[in-house]
Amino acid sequence: MRLPEWFAPPNPCRSFETHERLFRGLQRLENAAILCVQTKALPTIKKFVRQYGLPAEQTDDILNQSTLIFLRKIEDGSYQFQNYAPSTYLLEIARRLALTATRSQKNAPQALENQHHTLADPDVETASQHRENTELVRQLLRQLGPPCDQVIKLHHIDGYSDEEVVQQQLTKYSTTDSLKMKRSDCMKKLIQLAQQWKTSNSI
């Protein structure tokens, strides 16, 4: 499941007639704005997943990760509105996430620091920004606590497939479906924590 759809109107984009309005809504972390940009990006992200030969169930994971990174870039000023659709930037992040997922499916898992540095921004970031972003992700995972920190870390950081997690009994979830459902819920909570962090640090 993507971001809290129950908070958004039936057509989340109806309040954002221009790209700039949508960007301003994302700056304010409006649920409808976030769901709107996700709705616009979803069809193309599905295409990325198919093109790169990824499991279809990774679509929501990539969408939620991309959204989290995108909101972070808006918050720290790395992304500035330039009169084009915000979904364009979100899709570039998603494409990089999908590409990295194909490279790491059967390879040794990457550390969080390397993964975030590669995907956080198409532009080159300074080392200090990189360390700050990495620590933020770690803080958010600690705030989530079990089992969310575990299911997210196993899949997105340690590189385990859902089948491996279930077969090796690394969590309490006995089926891949229940594991995926829990991880999707946890990603939603992670994004909400990031929203709260942004709000508290903008005061």
Per-residue pLDDT, averaged over 11-34, amounts to: 89
Q: What is the pLDDT of residues 159-175, one digit of tens each?
A: 778 888 898 888 999 99
pTM of the model: 0.56
Angle at 5 (CA atoms; ends 61, 172), nearest 5 degrees: 45
Cα separation, 9 vs 56, whole angstroms: 27
**What is the pLDDT confidence band of residue 189, given thresholds at 50, 70 and 90?**
confident
pLDDT for position 104: 62
Q: Which residue has the tokens 């995972």?
A: 141
Q: What is the pLDDT of residue 163?
A: 87
Report pLDDT for 49.
92
pLDDT at 117 over 50: no
pLDDT at 84 over 60: yes
197, with CB counted inside 10 A (0-12, 13-18, 19+), is middle
Asked whether the predicted pLDDT for residue 28 surpasses 90, the reply is no
pLDDT of residue 105: 59
Domain boundaries, the chain: 5-201
Q: What percent of the chain lies above the pLDDT cut of 70?
A: 75
More confident residue, 189 or 125: 189
What sign does the CA torsion over 32, 51, 194, 20 have? negative
**What DSSP character marks residue 15?**
T
| Top mean-pLDDT range of 90-94, 132-136, 194-198 | 90-94
